[in-house]
């Protein structure tokens, strides 16, 4: 478990899935910039995918609470060594705009740097998600330039790869 003053990240437990399902479809739709086709990448699917890879699906839990208010999905060493990719940050609608998602990203970046999982960070943003793009820009990410997006083969055409490079 990782903690900041206002938020903590912890592993998803099976009891969380019932709570997450009540807000997940709307949150996923917001992240993707429009309606999604059920059951595309539901919380259970994301959890299984994270467990099968070098990553995690974490609950974003506000301080003093037990129930997840959001999800953070990330992969270590993806798309290559020295990188950490955030695939998904989603907050329940009533919890958006309070900084919990930003704090969660900063927590995982700090842990990645401390444990030397990564020095550089990537996030995928759907081009229809203007607020998502703004979210990543505020965190210091920028669109990958030609030559920096050596992994573009794994991203859909509607995805913008945002990166934040740390000096060596």
- How do residues 92-105 score in pLDDT, each as one tens digit? 999 999 999 999 99
Quick check: 19 and 69 in contact, CB under 8 A?
no
Which of 74-88, 105-119, 151-165 has the least mean pLDDT?
A: 151-165
Residue 39: pLDDT band with limits 50, 70, 90: very low
How much is the pLDDT for 157?
A: 65
For position 146, what pLDDT does the model report?
78
* Distance, CA of 90 to CA of 27 (rounded, Å): 6
Provide the whole-model pTM: 0.85
Q: How would residue 18 be classed by pLDDT, with cut points 50, 70 and 90?
A: confident
Cα-based distances in Å from 90 to 20, 73, 113, 166: 10, 9, 23, 25
- So what's the pLDDT on residue 166? 83
Domains of the chain in start order, with CATH, are 2-165 (3.40.630.30)
| pLDDT for position 32 | 75
* Residue 92 CB partners (closer than 8 Å, separation 6+): 23, 27, 69, 70
Q: Please compute Rg for the chain using Cα positions.
A: 15
């Amino acid at each position: 478990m990782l903690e900041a003053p206002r938020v903590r990240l912890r592993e998803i437990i099976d009891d969380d899935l019932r709570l997450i399902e009540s807000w997940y479809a709307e949150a996923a739709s917001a992240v993707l910039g429009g309606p999604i086709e059920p059951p595309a990448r539901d919380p259970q699917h994301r959890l299984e995918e994270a467990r099968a890879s070098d990553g995690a699906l974490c609950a974003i839990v506000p301080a003093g609470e037990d129930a997840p208010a959001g999800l953070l999905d990330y992969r270590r060493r993806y798309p290559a060594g020295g990188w950490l990719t955030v695939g998904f940050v989603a907050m329940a609608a009533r919890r958006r705009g309070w900084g919990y998602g930003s704090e969660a990203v900063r927590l995982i970046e700090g842990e990645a740097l401390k444990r030397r999982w990564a020095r550089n960070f990537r996030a995928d943003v759907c081009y229809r998600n203007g607020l998502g793009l703004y979210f990543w820009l505020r965190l210091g990410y920028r669109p990958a330039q030609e030559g920096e997006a050596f992994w573009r083969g794994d991203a859909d055409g509607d995805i913008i790869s945002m990166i934040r490079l740390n000096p060596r």
